[in-house]
């Protein structure tokens, strides 16, 4: 699963630690999600979408080309 | 971002508190284990009542440690829960398979010494550590 978390975070000038704090996860988890090494659960994806005020599909995209 | 800050700070503080509590319970369990093991020989000269009391206290503290571990795991974020799950699965699997094979070696007299439970505990602890290390590397 691809995601735009790093871009969205950079646009807001937030650090990984700040984003992690807002999502109530560790900084390592934010880093792993940004690198595509860990796919977040649906509740965590919804939390990120609420935080960035975007739809989930604007942040996370399926790897399989449609 | 400010509207979430209180909750997220309390989450981080809660995780740190759960980790500290688990450390305390584990330390207390190790201490009571040592007392129950060495007390009969070195402290109270095989008094049966004191020995039984020490074992019961060790058992009680052990259950406290289990609950603290459960609370700690529930408080972790989902990636760390996954790392823990994979490490525990590896540890349990290796412990079961190698432990029973080790027992068979003893029962069939393929090894000259008795299979000791402490060897199994050491194996499981080392396997768990390897699993945790591999998990952190995997998601780094």
Task: Classify domain A2-61 at the CATH topology level.
Answer: 434 Repressor (Amino-terminal Domain) (1.10.260)
Q: What local confidence, expressed as pLDDT, does residue B8 receive?
A: 60
Contact A32, B139 (CB under 8 A): yes
Q: Which of residues 66-105 of B touch A (CB under 8 A)?
A: 77-80, 82
> How far apart (Å, rounded) are the C-alpha atoms in residues A17 and B81?
19
Name the pLDDT band for B2 (thresholds 50, 70, 90): very low
Establish if A23 touches chain B: CB-CB under 8 angstroms.
yes
Count of positions (residues) in chain A: 66
Over the stretch B105-122, which tens digit does the pLDDT of each residue have? Answer: 999 999 988 899 999 999
Query: What's the burial of B46, exposed, middle or buried (CB within 10 Å: 0-12/13-18/19+)?
Result: exposed
A38–B1 C-beta distance less than 8 A: no
Model confidence at B25: pLDDT above 70? yes
ipTM for this prediction: 0.92
Of B9, B11, B139, the CB nearest to A28: B139
State pLDDT tens for residues B72-109. 999 999 999 999 999 999 999 999 999 999 999 999 99
Our measurement of the distance from residue A35's CA atom to the centroid of its chain's CA atoms, rounded to an integer in Å, reads 10
Domain boundaries in chain B?
1-76, 77-140
Chain A contact probe: residue of B1, B13, B79 with most A CBs at under 10 A: B79
* Mean pLDDT for all residues in chain B: 93
Q: Does B49 touch chain A (CB under 8 A)?
A: no
CA of A46, closest CA in chain B: separation in Å? 14
Q: Is the pLDDT reported for residue B20 higher than 70?
A: yes
Question: A6-18, pLDDT tens digit by residue?
Answer: 999 999 999 999 9
Residue B5 has pLDDT above 60, yes or no: no
Distance separating alpha carbons of residues A27 and B12, to the nearest angstrom: 11
Of the candidates A24, A29, A40, the beta carbon closest to that of B8 is on A24
For chain B, percent of residues with pLDDT exceeding 90: 86
Give the HSE-up count for residue B55: Cα atoms under 13 Å, Cβ half-sphere: 9
């Amino acid at each position: 699963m691809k995601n735009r978390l790093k871009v969205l975070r950079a646009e807001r000038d937030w650090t990984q630690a700040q984003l992690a704090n807002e999502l109530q996860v560790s900084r390592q988890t934010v880093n792993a999600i940004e690198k595509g090494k860990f796919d977040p659960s649906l509740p965590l994806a919804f939390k990120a979408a609420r935080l960035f005020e975007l739809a989930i599909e604007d942040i996370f995209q399926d790897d399989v080309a449609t | 971002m400010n509207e979430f800050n209180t909750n997220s700070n309390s989450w981080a503080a809660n995780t740190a508190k759960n980790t500290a509590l688990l450390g305390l319970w584990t330390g207390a369990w190790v201490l009571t284990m040592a007392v129950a093991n060495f007390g009969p020989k070195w402290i109270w000269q095989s008094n049966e009542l004191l020995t039984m009391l020490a074992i019961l206290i060790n058992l009680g503290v052990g259950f406290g440690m289990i609950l603290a571990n459960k609370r700690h795991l529930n408080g972790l974020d989902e990636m760390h829960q996954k790392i823990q799950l994979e490490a525990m699965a590896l540890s349990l699997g290796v412990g079961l398979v190698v432990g029973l094979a080790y027992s068979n070696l003893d029962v069939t007299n393929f090894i000259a010494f008795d299979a000791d439970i402490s060897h199994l505990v050491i194996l499981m602890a080392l396997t768990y550590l390897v699993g945790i290390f591999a998990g952190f590397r995997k998601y780094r």
